[in-house]
Amino acid sequence: GQSLEQPSEVTAVEGAIVQINCTYQTSGFYGLSWYQQHDGGAPTFLSYNALDGLEETGRFSSFLSRSDSYGYLLLQELQMKDSASYFCAWPSWDNQGGKLIFGQGTELSVKP
Amino acid sequence: DAGVTQSPTHLIKTRGQQVTLRCSPKSGHDTVSWYQQALGQGPQFIFQYYEEEERQRGNFPDRFSGHQFPNYSSELNVNALLLGDSALYLCASSRESRVDYGYTFGSGTRLTVV
């Protein structure tokens, strides 16, 4: 089967660094994406790792290790506005089209 | 540049009724996907439309159907509503049916079935 596992909750303080892990079991792996969602609003694309290694975008970085079926999202210099749910997602595609398979999400709470 | 627009934002329906949700994709996007997100869960893929055809479907019953119009906008129809259909319904658009990177999501329609 296809599944992505991530912690349900993470708490950190403002200014700190937090890492949200994602392990997966999939077939036909195309890479790993990360999305942010505030209070049930629109999920917003953060990053995509097609290859192993670290991708950096401002305060956010994402890492992928295909051999370990593992990735993480790293958030630095945490701000209160970073409190949200974070989802890892697997972009799946075949000749019938594409879709995203999402993990259950990690709720990040940033405390003052 | 408008992003993905969904309507209505909130909806309350009675069990057994039918509902239609609407989505206008981001300008330049030709593919629309629909997702269901239950409270506290990740979005679940319902189906995808490209060139006015359903290209791929998730594990949802036939009560869930859709349509894509020539202007790329889309509708999601749910018949014979069940209490378990209560969820946030998200529309996502992309430029092609295959996308290895970011989809653009709308803010969703919150459907409550009573």
pLDDT, tens only, A16-66 = 999 999 999 877 777 899 999 999 799 999 999 989 999 998 999 999 999
Q: What is the DSSP string of B63-80?
A: TEEEEE-TTS-EEEEE-S
pLDDT score of A29: 75
B77/A contact by beta carbon, under 8 A: no
Taking an 8 Å cut-off on Cβ atoms, the answer to whether A98 and B102 are in contact is no
pLDDT score of A28: 72
Taking an 8 Å cut-off on Cβ atoms, the answer to whether B88 and A40 are in contact is yes
pLDDT score of A92: 81
Q: Which residue of B has its CA nearest to A31?
A: B100
Return the exposure string of B14-48: e unless at least 16 CB atoms fall within 10 Å of the residue's CB, then b: eeeeebebbbbbbeebbbbbbbbbeeeebbbbbbb
% pLDDT > 70, chain B = 95
Mean pLDDT for A52-81 is 95
More confident: B96 or A18: A18
Residue B97 scores a pLDDT above 60: no
Residue B98 scores a pLDDT above 60: no
pLDDT score of B13: 98
pLDDT tens, position by position, B62-87: 999 999 999 999 999 999 999 999 99
More confident: A3 or B76: B76
Residues belonging to chain A with any Cβ–Cβ distance to chain B shorter than 8 Å? 30-31, 33, 35, 40-45, 48, 50, 87, 89, 91, 93-94, 96-105
Mean pLDDT for A95-101 is 80
Suggest the residue from A9, A95, A100 to mutate for an interface test with chain B (most B CBs closer than 10 A): A100
CA distances from B79 to A19, A48, A103, B15, B26 (A): 42, 36, 28, 10, 27
% pLDDT > 90, chain A = 78
Whether A93 contacts A27, CB under 8 Å: no
**Residue A56 CA from chain centroid, whole number:** 13
Mean pLDDT for B8-24 is 98
Residue B14 scores a pLDDT above 70: yes
Residue B35 scores a pLDDT above 80: yes
